[in-house]
Amino acid sequence: MTVRTAAAELTELPAYLYDLAALRAHAAEVRAALPGRVELYYAAKANPEAPILAALHGLVDGYEVSSGGELAHVHATVPDAPLAFGGPGKSPEEIAAALRLPAVRRWHVESERELRALAATADRPVDILLRANLPVGDGALHGAALAMGGRPTPFGMDPDRIEDCLALLASPGFERLRLRGVHAHLASGLTAAEQLRVAERIVGWSADLAALHRLPLHEVNVGGGMAVDYGDPDARFDWTAFGEGLDRLLARHPGLTTLRIEPGRALTAHCGWYATEVLDVKHSHGEDFAVVRGGTHHLRTPATRGHSQPFTVLPVEDWPHPWPRPAAADTRVTVSGQLCTPKDVLATRAPVAELRAGDRLLFSTAGAYAWNISHHEFLMHPRPAFHYLDGDRR
């Protein structure tokens, strides 16, 4: 069953629809585009729903988790999968919980405090990467939707702080921490060409650091942040060009045994849809508005990123009421939700041929940072339903 058919047949709205078969096919394509020395981890925070994590199992090399909650949930869902534990502000309880799980294969250490806490708590060898906040020159981050590095941020460590950690790691009391390499996640929303420039910077910097300190840094994790183009739902990040570029990069660094990436958004965004219905169509001060059931408390993505969420209209011919059907034709419509705030907007002045109360809207590109980043409790509306399509299985 296609997502469109499923959305038209739903009896309860709003609802999230996920196409797990499409997700697996996409992840397999991504994997096939990457060189063998590249490990693919999925950043669980993009969408941690259990069926999504399970669908990716076997297609990704592991999962990146950024909290004790994600750690417990991902491990319970895919118990045999390797995990990388990142995130700023790891609490003592989270550090202790992660140390109890052998599935945690890598730690992304974000500060000297964390390094000290980990060394003091570890009762077994722990493989770590130091998370670096590197300046990325040459306008490499131009166009990034979010920048976690290359500027003042609470993420990772500046290069001089990394040097301090190297000195600590060589001192007594830190024997259990095995430094494997460097982690950096500097920006999100980057095209393949931009990602490659950033990856080259991170790998080059790591190689220089290793040479300077005569350290065997065999691993580099260059993070996630592969762009999703919400303005063109059919567009995809150019994994082929990215994979070819990484292949060239690896050829220049034969000592690098593992280059890891940890995309979130670009893996799952395209496999999720949010279906709802138009409750009302209104004309206000010269503009048309469609008010839908649900809103940004279910799908916050357009509000946080400031974009129009792409959608298609699923016409519904039935209008069971004796009063006139509110409608707009050949116009631009702002699609808002049920919340009492002007920020509850899913799409702004989107062109529509016809839109009537009772019609359904199917928002695409809603499989990442959508439901799980939304403020569900605001105004106490009901939660959406969730449907996982898997080929012919429903």
Ligand X SMILES: *Cc1c(COP(=O)(O)O)cnc(C)c1O
Output the six-digit token pair for 362.
């199917």
Of the two residues 64 and 114, which places its CB atom closer to ligand X in the complex? 64
Q: Is 49 in the site for ligand X (CB under 6 A)?
A: no
Q: Is 268 in the site for ligand X (CB under 6 A)?
A: no
x/- mask, ligand X, residues 72-111, rule CB under 6 A, reads --------------x-------------------------
Which CB contacts under 8 angstroms, 24+ apart, belong to 111-116?
111/157, 111/161, 112/157, 112/161, 112/164, 112/165, 112/168, 114/90, 115/165, 115/168, 115/169, 115/174, 115/177, 116/168
CA distances from 92 to 65, 73, 137, 162, 329 (A): 16, 19, 36, 21, 58
Stretch that binds ligand X, among 99-107, 259-267, 311-319, 350-358 (CB under 6 A): 259-267
The answer to whether 165 is a known catalytic residue is no
Q: Is 64 in the site for ligand X (CB under 6 A)?
A: yes
Scanning the structure block, which residue is given the tokens 């940890």?
262
Q: Is 224 in the site for ligand X (CB under 6 A)?
A: yes
**Cα angle at 350 between 347 and 354, to 5 degrees?**
120
The rounded distance, in Å, linking the Cα atoms of 69 and 64 is 12
Stretch that binds ligand X, among 202-210, 260-268, 321-329, 349-357 (CB under 6 A): 260-268
- CB-based contact 276:360 (threshold 8 Å): yes
The runs of H, that is alpha helices, within 58-158 are 68-77, 92-99, 112-121
Rounded to a whole number of angstroms, the minimum distance from the CB of residue 200 to ligand X is 18
Rounded to a whole number of angstroms, the minimum distance from the CB of residue 338 to ligand X is 28
What's the one-letter identity of residue 386? F
Q: Is 226 in the site for ligand X (CB under 6 A)?
A: yes
Rounded to a whole number of angstroms, the minimum distance from the CB of residue 105 to ligand X is 15
The rounded distance, in Å, linking the Cα atoms of 106 and 222 is 14
Among positions 133, 188, 336, 365, the unique one binding ligand X when judged by CB under 6 A: 188
Among positions 26, 45, 260, 300, the unique one binding ligand X when judged by CB under 6 A: 45
Among positions 48, 62, 181, 223, the unique one binding ligand X when judged by CB under 6 A: 223
Which entry of 318, 340, 380, 392 is annotated as an active-site residue?
340
Among positions 19, 114, 219, 262, the unique one binding ligand X when judged by CB under 6 A: 262
Output the six-digit token pair for 46.
């993009």
Q: Which residues are catalytic?
A: 340
Interface contacts to ligand X, rule CB under 6 A: 43, 45-46, 64, 66, 86, 185, 188, 223-226, 262-266
